[in-house]
Every structure is written in C-alpha cells, then in structure tokens.
Amino acid sequence: MSVLFILALALALAMDAFTVSLGVSFSLRKITLRQVFRMSLHFGFFQFLMAYWGWLLGQTFLKYIQTFDHWVAFGLLSFVGGKMIYESLTRTQNYSTKRSDPTAGFYLIFLSVATSIDALAAGLSLAALHSSIFYPSLVIGIVAFLMSFIGARMGRVLGRLIGRRAEILGGIILIIIGLKILRDHLF
C-alpha cells in the first residue's frame, strides 16, 4: 500500500472532522486554544482507534455494522446540531447565559464517534486488503488531528465575523454532515 494512498484515505476520512470542527467553533462565542486542542486530539484519537478496531474486527463485523453505521452517525450529529440550534434560539439576549460546551463531555464523545465511524469502515476495508494497520491508522489519526485543528481555527475567525448566528450555522452544518453521511450510505 503506497504512502500516497494512505494520505488520500486519511484526508478523505478527516473531512468530516474538519467540517465538524469548523461548525463547533462557529457555535462558540470565544473558543480557546485548549478547546481547539482538546477537540482535535479527540477527533484524531478516535479516527486512529476506530481504524485500528475496524481492522481487528475484520470482515466478520463488516456485514453487521454496514446496516446501521450511517444511522448512528446521523443521529449523533443531528442531536448535537439540534441542541446547538435550540440553545441559540431559546437563550435570552444575555449571551453570557451558561450553555453546553460542545468541546467537552458527552458532546465531544458523540462528535468523536460520529466523525470516526467511516474510519471503522476503512479499517475493515484495510483488513480485507490484508494490509498492515498501525502505520495507516497512525497517519489517519494525525491527519484528522491536523484537519480538526485547522477547521476549529478557521471557524473561530469566521464565527467572529458572523456573530451570534454562528451557533445556528454550526448546528445546521452538523445536521447537514449527518444528512450527507446518511445519503452517501443509503444511495
């Protein structure tokens, strides 16, 4: 398996993490470097881990997860995106009202799992190709980390430009990603 193939695979898998990072950073009035790093680290780690697990589980598990993986990703992304939109619309004019931080806790776990389900499928595919897994999964994790970091930093700047509506836009982006995953797997 060539290095170019592994990089292309890693970039393709990292696109969801990039876009989710962008959307999440839209939703936060101020995103700290700590939040960016924590989100990027989780996305990268989950991409690495899911690719590795997919490879370990091999072809036997493929037929079971293919029937519902897209629904899990869609559900998780829609839940988090819907909650972001709801909180934005129901919050009073005082923007400092306490709200959930999508870069911590269960939100972050939901997003990490949702953005890495495709990495699980990629790991299953690599097992079918009788490929080694540590190097490809490490590259997948590192690329996801970097793309998440870039997306979060870009979203911070763009979020400042569009103001309070950024949280609604971030939630919509998450739901659209969920719908895209669903569409790609169903059609």
| Residues of the chain with confidence (pLDDT) below 70 | 1, 59-63, 65-66, 91-99, 128-129, 159-160, 162-167, 170
pLDDT value, residue 34: 92
Q: What is the pLDDT of residues 164-176, one digit of tens each?
A: 566 677 678 778 8
Measure the CA–CA gap between 26 and 30, rounded to whole angstroms: 9
Q: What is the pTM of this model?
A: 0.72
Measure the CA–CA gap between 7 and 14, rounded to whole angstroms: 10
pLDDT value, residue 94: 46
Domain extent, residue 60, equals 3-186
Rounded to 10 degrees, the C-alpha dihedral 37/40/41/42 comes to 130
Number of domains in the chain: 1
pLDDT value, residue 97: 46
Measure the CA–CA gap between 74 and 51, rounded to whole angstroms: 19
